[in-house]
Chains A and B, each alone.
Chain A
Amino acid sequence: MTGPGHLRSAVDIAAAVRKGEISAAEVLERHLARVGAGESGVHAFNLVLTDEARRQAAAIDAAVAAGKDPGPLAGVPIALKDNLCTRGIPTTCSSRILEGWKPPYDATVVERLAAAGAVAIGKTNLDEFAMGSSTENSAFGPTRNPHDLERVPGGSSGGSAAAVAAGFAPVALGSDTGGSVRQPAALCGVVGVKPTYGLVSRYGLIAFASSLDQIGPFARTVEDAAAVLDAISGPDRRDSTSLREPPPLASERLKTGVDGLRIGVVSELAGAEGISPDVVARTREAAEALSAAGAKVEEVSVPAAMYGLSAYYLIAPAEASSNLARYDGVRYGLRVEGGPGADVTEMYLRTRSAGFGAEVKRRIMLGTYALSAGYYDAYYGKAQQVRTLIIRDFETAYRDFDILLGPTAPGTAFPLGAKTSDPLAMYLNDVCTIPSNLAGHPAMSVPFGTGDDGLPIGVQVLAPALGETTMFQVAAALEGAAPPLAEPGITEEAVR
């Protein structure tokens, strides 16, 4: 892809920087200028790392000048979701409770990106502790969708999705616990990937629900997403759940086409509650495009996927209630003293009352209840059984199909505030994405046309565990067949 510096693809930027055709510093400045022009409207970032990024870019340029290869992502600006630890740089999870905390370490993915030559440009906004589907639950105010500033970018990685859609960075990282990369990717018209559980180290990702969380890339192209995923995946001794085998290469078969692949359209996903007709239509068109390209496409049933949402809303809050217990005011972040004569319990209570937002409190309550004596078997235990059923149903489907297809989100981006008073309606946004988290399988969202409102729609490509290579192969074919998407409202002219 050619074009102005800030709209070049990551792969193009890296190639140009490595050849010395453009400096990392220049690439960065163009993106910073874009941020300067658009950020006040979008609010993608909690923090823009201007100085740090300039130092990183200078180091890349110095390496190139010295004849060294700074790596496959040389000079590529990348936005990081603000639940990824960055050494000495505030990491907030968009929560008051972490106020003032600077991690003394980098997340493994942050280290790997730096080693690949990428330049961290900022920490992006999110739903507090990654809990939400619209990025309206941030303690620092919502992020807005670059395609329509009155609408949400999706969530919880809404800041990262918006940063890429707005051209603030060619690529970004998010985290996906129930769809938090794929759903905002769909709503913002970009590519978003949730890899196989264990493919990317979670070390330094501030946990929401440990057994579901995975870090994944956002990009404007499938090829860029593959390049970022390849840079961050692989075994990590600091994460026990990290897979030990060499990772599948996401970028291996991007140009192979889909001839002969068996693709199943999941009837439960396309027929799920509240899916808009536009979304169903785009999913059908995507399937037809793949069929036209030589794939064998059929409908397939994954019955237990219907129960994914219910199981998820027991398992994820249960783990979250435990993961978030450490924010007690004793060691770091916010502390609200209990007042004269108060005991330590009072201090915990006041700290947590003041530090957490409504949605986080709601999920801590849900999770505490689901795990408590007398309810464990009926709720958490049952949800784990459902999870096993979902894994089995997917395994059955993957006996007949290489790849499954479905919608990513039920509709296009909705107006800010439209669902904030109805948590259940909000939760339904993840109905199509959640099953892959429960199964631990990879899935990604690829932009495929728009709704009647002109806003982007994403189609979801699902694969069996470690099926990333085939998943990207199909995603690349879909990308090639997709109707072109209009640039978001923030234009090059606004920068100049």
Chain B
Amino acid sequence: MTSTTAEISWEIVVGLEVHAELRTRTKLFCGCANSFGQEPNTNICPVCLGLPGSLPVLNRTAVEFAMRVGRALNCHVQPSIFHRKNYFYPDMPKDYQISQYDLPINTDGWLELPGGTRIGIVRAHMEEDTGKTTHVGGGGRIHGAAHSLVDYNRAGVPLVEIVSAPDIRSSEDARTYVDELRSILVAIGASDGKMEEGSLRVDANVSVRPAGSEQFGTRCEIKNMNSLRSLGRAIEYEAERQIGVIRDGGTVIQETRHWDESTGRTGSMRSKEEAYDYRYFPEPDLVPLEPSAEWVAEVEESLPELPAERRMKAGSASGIAADQDAVVTVVRLDLDRYLDNVVASGASAETAAIAVRRLANEVAAEIDSIGNLDPKAFTSLVTMESDGSLNPMQSRAVLKEMLASGGDPEEIAKRLGFEAMSAGALEEVVNRIVSEHPNEWERYVGGDDKLTGFFVGKIKAATGGNADLKEASALLRSKRGT
């Protein structure tokens, strides 16, 4: 740039490609088990190894899952064909990948983020996964490695690649998008959504442009992000990098970059000039895939309620906005069935709101122990809190016990020595404590709010934890006249 101008603001443009492993019992083109964490090279056969003479046979359940994904993302499910994507890589048994190219099974859909933003889905196509290489020496990269170990257990695992339109405008929306997509995939049973195990993998196409510009900037594709946190960081870093390049008078080069978690930077993998020519052509070993209208309808009818709908329901039951974090968390973690139980018992919106908060905080934090939490017992607990039998602190303590070892909330409360205090009884205790500490009370009345904690602590001790501390501090304030 030749002159310094006023700082222009930049807009980030992101499109995401999400690879989701489908939760089928067997692989996409053979009968080998589709399971994670086995001894290397034990779930393999001539077909998934691509041995000479072997042929792929399409897994019907995988097709059905792919159609579920498509319909859940409002896509058009259409007749499709498979192509071969030709390139050499040691973990690709046939040295081509069977994928879908210009006729994917799902096209033209959309996904709505909890905030209401709609992100276009260009396509959601089927393909087979590759094996997995571990490069020993050479810093873990194939070039320079002393040798490489190849595990083909994953080769042939069915994937759906979900390609979004470049409709995402911030790293936060990118994370929300992946999170929402993951919730949908888990809800419809198509994927277990575990990013850390590689069953959900995300590539991001990132570009920047001056805010208000209609034209897209040159994009870079970032690979190798294995958590939502990395995804957010990588997008932020890459956008800053591109803005820096443009500010310095340079041009962003279209290329594939990888994300290095340890340095927090993206680095060049290959540029467009050395980009692969995949030489796609129709896979002659498979026949065209033409799901009947009946089959598509059947799949559509079998879809469960999706997260957005469930959030709407949870929101209206509890009076909390559907896109608030608590509701989003409850639905994402599949905890809304507990809320359903509460609502079904005839609870008020107030009670439902208590349930949502307990689920989003306490239960979400102990999600691994969810098996101990009986929905009926949970409903009783929430009812006890809402009718004042337990104060919020006591209710939390009881819930913790229930998550740790199950049990009935009333019994647990009794065991812990919890009993509800009447308003009169609480007032009596407050008065007593105040009179026992006249100096502190004078300072508190004089405006020293730090003493709130002092009094609340005393009240808590005096009541053996049975007091509703919120109510106690309210009493203190009204006594002071504020």
Contact = CB atoms under 8 A, between A and B. Distances in A.
A264 to B, nearest CB: 29
B284 interface: yes
B88 interface: yes
Chain A binding surface, main DSSP class? loop
Contact of B285 (A240, A325, A343): A240
Interface stretch (A48-56, A158-166, A286-294, A326-334): A326-334
A381 to B, nearest CB: 9
Interface stretch (A71-79, A138-146, A365-373): A365-373
Contacts of B54: 105, 203-204
A296 to B, nearest CB: 37
Contacts of B53: 84-85, 91, 103, 105, 107, 203-207
Given A322-B84, A322-B96, A380 B284 contact: no
Interface in A89-141: 91, 93, 98, 101, 103-105, 107
Nearest to B283: A210
B294 interface: no
A211 interface: yes
Interface stretch (B55-63, B251-259, B342-350, B473-481): B55-63
Contacts of B277: 372-373
B51 interface: yes
Nearest to A333: B52
A105 B46 contact: yes
Contacts of A93: 52
B184 to A, nearest CB: 30
A171 B233 CA distance: 68
A27 B286 CA distance: 41
Interface in A322-357: 322, 325-326, 328, 330-332, 343-345, 348
Contact of B286 (A98, A240, A368): A240
Contacts of A325: 86, 88, 94-96
Which of the four size classes fits the interface of chain B?
Answer: 20 to 34
Interface string B250-293: 00000000000000000000000000010111001111000000
A328 B95 contact: yes
A260 B88 CA distance: 56
A322 B281 contact: yes
A238 B57 contact: yes
A98 B88 contact: no
Nearest to A237: B57
B52 A98 contact: yes
A372 B51 CA distance: 25
A351 to B, nearest CB: 11
B93 A326 contact: yes
Interface string A206-231: 11011100000000000000000000
B49 A331 contact: yes
Contacts of A380: 281
A303 B52 CA distance: 37
A126 to B, nearest CB: 14
A202 B95 contact: no
B150 interface: yes
B388 interface: no
Contacts of B284: 209-211, 241, 319
A326 B150 contact: no
A211 B282 CA distance: 10
Given A241-B286, A373-B279, 8 more contacts: A103-B46, A202-B55, A203-B53, A322-B86, A343-B142, A372-B277, A373-B277, A376-B281
Interface of A: 84-85, 91, 93, 98, 101, 103-105, 107, 202-207, 209-211, 237-241, 318-319, 321-322, 325-326, 328, 330-332, 343-345, 348, 368, 371-373, 376, 380
29 contacts: A84-B53, A85-B52, A91-B52, A98-B52, A103-B51, A103-B52, A103-B53, A105-B46, A202-B55, A206-B52, A209-B284, A240-B55, A240-B57, A240-B58, A240-B285, A240-B286, A240-B287, A322-B86, A322-B96, A325-B86, A325-B88, A344-B90, A344-B142, A348-B88, A368-B279, A371-B279, A373-B277, A373-B279, A376-B279
3 closest A-B pairs by CB: A325-B95, A211-B284, A210-B284
